[in-house]
Structure 1
Amino acid sequence: MNQEIIKLRQELHKHPEVSNDEYHTSERIINYVKKFNPDEIIKLGETGVAFIFNGKEKGKTVVFRSELDALLIKEKSGVEYASVNDHIAHSCGHDGHMAILTGLIQVISKNRPVRGKVVMLFQPAEEVEQGACDVVENPKFINIQPDYLFALHNVPGFEKHTIVLKKGSFASASKGMTIKLTGKTVHAAEPQDGISPADAISDIIKELHVIRDDKTLFKDFVLLTIIHIQLGEISFGTSPGYAELRVTLRAFENEDMEVLTDKCEKTIREISRSEKLDCEISYSEDFPATVNNDYCVGVVEQSAKHIGLDIQNIEKPFKWSEDFGYFTEKYNACYFGLGSGKDQPQLHNPDFDFPDDIIESGINIFYAIYEKALSDD
């Protein structure tokens, strides 16, 4: 076990920072990696950073990516290196992912590429979707011209060290839909003189569920979750004139997300018009599906077999979303799972703590992928 990398992981765990505020985390990584003498250090935005190791000959460019951000969760793990930042915790394991990628740098610094180049990307703001989108659009990243990208995520519920793979869609598309309905507020004694959104909210919820359950519309799984409703004010003398409804849309496939979004929007606007309400629809945390490239999946599979790690091919994508989908939209890429234990607390749970004993497997699979991807013609 690499005790130096484990110590780094626990330091990162102790000092978590939320999306777009990962300044100290990024600085900690940069200061640690400098001693391994990367050929280039490229800042991407405020906190993103990429470390590049160049070969002497021209060849493929392979990118490995980790996330920097933590979550707004109060940790209840009980570990001695628990978060010192109130209500912020690495409850998704990004501290472990950073440790794996830093460990990969440590190994590659002693086994630099002969041809091509390898890039270790530490990306901000994965949890809010914006991070990968910003990196993909950053001219400095575009200039890197990746041929292949790889990333992993620890996956509770799978045996430790198992590589979890799937061709095609690996993680769901999702987006947050906010619906704002504006009518007219009046006295509660004369509701007929106003325009209340109450009936519209009720009808919208009912019809959105009808869309969700219509199996003829979609090729695969979709999900629609009502997460928040606000109607008027707490005043028994007032009939409401304003409402907000927030819904999470989710789909295994990007095509189904387009259909789901379109159908929901049309239904919402039709009901709003019938109730004489002004309607505004907006979106946030928009994650495309993470769709794996077949060749890249093959590289991961062959690499896992080469180093003796078990492989589990899943039949259906995960319901959770990943902003790595922004990379898979534009580049040949593979996102895969690293089993973190059958009894490991689930992601985003307050008692989650990344298991240090899978770090070595993460480093080894990434290094095997590095050797395979750069050696293929």
Structure 2
Amino acid sequence: MFLTNQDVIELTAWRRKLHAMPEISSEEIATAAEVQGFLADTKPDRVVSGLGGTGVAVIYDSGLPGPTVLFRAELDALPIEEIGTPDHRSKIPGKGHMCGHDGHMTMLAALGRQFGRERPKRGRVILLFQPAEETGAGAAAVIADEKFQQLAPDYSFSLHNMPGLPLGHAWLKDGIVNCASRGLKIVLSGRTAHASMPETGISPVPAVAALMPALTALSQGSIATGDMVLATLTHASVGEPAFGIAPGHAEVWVTLRTMTDGQMQALTTKAEHLVREVAAAGGLGYAMDYHDIFGHCENHAEAAALLRAAMEAEGISHEAGETMRGSEDFGRFATVSKSAMFFLGAGENMPNLHNPNYDFPDDLIPIGTKIFMRLARDILG
């Protein structure tokens, strides 16, 4: 069983509807409601809403013993103004589906249509529409939710579209798929002074000047050698925008990125030591906190092998690919199940993810769907 031409037409229209109504992380109330409404006709055996905030799990149960297989898509869009001109472009100023999560949701909805017509022969399928992937908060919130703990998946699978790869060509590898990352916000506190008498204050300027090169100097290694450590300055500010005030306050933001969670622990220790050392030398107070925390994403060997077999059965060309520098919170599902994710080519000449003119290619909907459908049938019959 597979999608009919009418299914593809209706799913494509729905994907474009989602594209026009983007909601950013943790605000996906209308999107979650739209998912539930669209899949209502498939008569799922159970729907769990409010997972980790706005998440939705749609469940198709055979009624017979067997594994529980979870497929995850993301609900959230980005705080990016869309500059593309499709008829279905974003209607929400300053927000857009510039990462293709609208397409990922549509693939899961396509699975829902098929399992609505014919349940798996054993076990159950969970379609999870997860909130807040872009901030790294969503998967952790879902997994911590008591309602999710009752679902207990044995396997979890996900995909991400990837511009730059030929349309429909896949990257699937064992081991580490995405790097760990987190944003470190550093606040330095001194004392303001009149600009004519800066010596009467305590300025954070020398500390900022020292911190910026010192933090970036923590970078070393590479993906190829498995020891990449990367510190990227993303923001810095000093004082108020006034000519009469010598500054007493500064902020430095840096994104820390490593291949593994263990490497991240070592990097944060070094960065925090550096901040304390520089602040003390300048007589400054300091505060540090972390944002957008992502653990590394690692494919389970068995789950990846099942995915690989499904691709081969469906004639999908694939290769191992490489570990992605970008982060993905799907890795947290490895703590509760055998999990794997892959990257599906969106076309070699597509705008990159998070570009303001990105638009998910509708031709990927049936391709991603048939991989997941074959996988589910291989495991559950």
TM score, norm. by length of structure 2 = 0.94
1:262 Cα deviation from its structure 2 partner = 1.0
Which residue is 1:139 aligned to? 146
Contact 2:72/2:130 (<8 A) preserved? yes
Cross-structure match for 2:214: 207
Kindly provide the CA deviation profile for residues 1-26 of structure 1, in whole angstroms up to 9, marking residues without a partner as x.
Answer: 41111111111112111122212211
Cα deviation digits, residues 288-317 of structure 1 (max 9, x gap): 111111111101100000111101211x31
Aligned partner of 2:137 in structure 1 is 130
Counterpart contact for 2:218–2:231, Cα < 8 Å: no
Among 160, 167, 188, the alignment partner of 1:153 is 160
2:60 is aligned, of 39, 53, 73, to 53
Among candidates 311, 318, 327, match of residue 318 of structure 2 = 311
Report which stretch shifted further, 336-345 or 105-114: 105-114
**Partner residue, 1:83:** 90
The answer to whether the 8 Å contact 1:232/1:239 transfers is yes
The Cα of 1:79 is off from its aligned counterpart by: 1.0
Instruction: Specify which of 23, 28, 32 is matched with residue 22 of structure 1.
Output: 28
Mapped to 2, the partners of 1:323 and 1:117 lie a distance apart of 24
Q: What's 2:308 paired with?
A: 301
1:370 aligns with 376
Q: Distance in 2 between matches of 1:326 and 1:18?
A: 21
Cα distance, 1:271 vs structure 2: 1.3
Cα deviation, residue 50, structure 1: 0.4
Match status 1:8 vs 2:4: no
CA distance in 1, matches of 2:275, 2:82: 39
Give me the whole-angstrom Cα distance separating, in 2, the residues matched to 1:25 and 1:210: 42
Deviation at 1:103, TM superposition (A): 0.2
Output the CA distance in 2 between the equivalents of 1:33 and 1:365.
20
Query: By how many angstroms is 1:242 displaced?
Result: 1.1
Separation of aligned partners in 1, 2:266 and 2:229: 10
Structure 2 residue aligned with 1:320: 326
Runs (4+) of structure 1 moved beyond 4 Å?
A: none
How many pairs were matched up? 372
Q: Structure 2: state its 5+ residue gaps.
A: none
Matches within 5 A, 1:1-377: 1=5, 2-43=8-49, 44-213=51-220, 219-314=226-321, 316-374=322-380
Amino-acid identity (%): 38
One-letter amino acid of the counterpart of residue 168, structure 1: G
Q: 2:33, 2:248 → 1: CA distance?
A: 49
Greater CA drift, 299-308 or 122-131: 122-131
Q: Distance in 1 between matches of 2:311 and 2:221?
A: 40
Shift of residue 46, structure 1, vs aligned partner: 4.1
Q: Tell me the SS of whatever aligns to 1:324.
A: helix
Contact 1:291 1:329 (8 Å CA) reproduced:
no
Equivalent-residue separation in structure 2 for 1:370 and 1:124 (angstroms):
23
Per the TM alignment, residue 118 of structure 1 is displaced from its structure 2 partner at its CA by 0.8
Classify the secondary structure of the residue corresponding to 1:82. Answer: coil
State the Cα deviation string for residues 194-215 of structure 1 (Å, max 9, x = none): 2111111111122212222478
SS state of the match for residue 374, structure 2? helix
CA distance in 2, matches of 1:228, 1:28: 36
Structure 1: which amino acid aligns with 2:373? Y
What SS does the corresponding residue of 1:121 show, helix, strand or coil? strand
CA–CA separation in structure 2 for the residues paired with 1:89 and 1:55: 37
Deviation at 1:45, TM superposition (A): 4.3
Give the whole-Å Cα distance in 2 for the aligned partners of 1:372 and 1:11: 32
**Quick one: structure 1 residues 72 and 276, their matched pair in 2 at CA, closer, same or farther if it must change by over 3 Å?**
same
Tell me by how many angstroms 1:159 deviates.
0.9
Aligned equivalents of 2:44 and 2:130: distance in 1? 17
Contact 2:216–2:233 (Cα < 8 Å) also in 1: no
When the two structures are superposed, what TM-score results if normalisation uses the length of structure 1? 0.95
Q: Quick one: which amino acid aligns to residue 372 of structure 1?
A: D
Question: Structure 1: which 5+ runs fail to align?
Answer: none
Query: Which digits, 9 at most, give the CA deviation of each residue in 1:47-98, with x for residues without a partner?
Result: 2110111122211111000011111112122111111111211111111001
Which secondary structure state, in structure 1, belongs to the residue aligned with residue 93 of structure 2? coil
Aligned-residue offset at 1:251: 1.5
